[in-house]
Structure 1
């Protein structure tokens, strides 16, 4: 994109190419099975956990193809944009918004790193990562969520790049 196209806003925003995948992330994070079967807490924090869990899995899939690595940055931009809007709706103002966004980005980065390490090491490592990083109901131990996240990760690894970017694939 040329300097003038950026300056004048005449070129399409490159992150919009990732909007369908972002909408899939949010939709999947709202899937009642994560809450009913996997022990995710149905609170603001629990919903944030599920968004970061699903986003981390999607970003790990983007990392599988060198051509898609830049797309993970644009997907992160959509995450930041959406989370900032949600925080503003919850009443956060400029003085505290930056700090809260920093905390959210740190949580996202931690989740991504935890799953990047855990998935290749199997169920036990992923369960440990879930138990350390997610808000779960009192009777949940992370195993069910770990199994479902591993299955999602495995499923996304078979999705074509075009289907992934379109957000239209069966998982």
Structure 2
């Protein structure tokens, strides 16, 4: 009976503190003011997914615990999107498809940011798609966002795996 109880017990997600900190970063006003990301559900999703993609890439480049936290970070994202959609009245029959679409959008950003980090594509081009869906409001807004994203990435690179997993972000 004890083994059956363990099967259904929910373990706390190791990446929850990290996810919460990435969400807090995505809520910072500069993304929507100086960076001119649309202050809409879609715009806020774009900022969050962009920061999560960079965070995930850094975790992938770490040790075993970091790579496991990468998977857990995606699980936090899925749980959060499921909850947000339910709050917005999305029902079970379409929930899986909608969450799957959001996870796909995150995965697309991970691939794009991987190319930017590896130098195969410019940060400006990737940021234009990732944050603005190529509807860049101004050169100044794009420059601000690219500067902030580069700073965020350098900060991620400078953190230990353990610090990141604990949610200590730049």
8 Å Cα contact 2:50/2:130 also seen in 1: no
The residue that corresponds to 1:26 in the other structure is 23
Corresponding residue pairs, total: 165
Unmatched tracts of structure 1, length 5 or more? none
TM-score by length of 1: 0.87
Q: Distance in 2 between matches of 1:107 and 1:80?
A: 12
The residue that corresponds to 1:100 in the other structure is 98
User: Does residue 108 of structure 2 align to residue 130 of structure 1?
Assistant: no
Alpha-carbon shift at residue 50 of structure 1 (Å): 0.9
| 1:80-135: CA deviation from partner (whole Å, max 9, x where unpaired) | 0001000010111112211111110110000011001112328x711101212323
Q: Distance in 1 between matches of 2:166 and 2:68?
A: 16
What is the aligned-residue RMSD (CA, Å)? 2.1
SS in 2 for 1:134: helix
Q: Distance in 2 between matches of 1:107 and 1:3?
A: 37
Unmatched tracts of structure 2, length 5 or more? none
State the 4+ residue runs in structure 1 displaced beyond 3 angstroms. 2-6
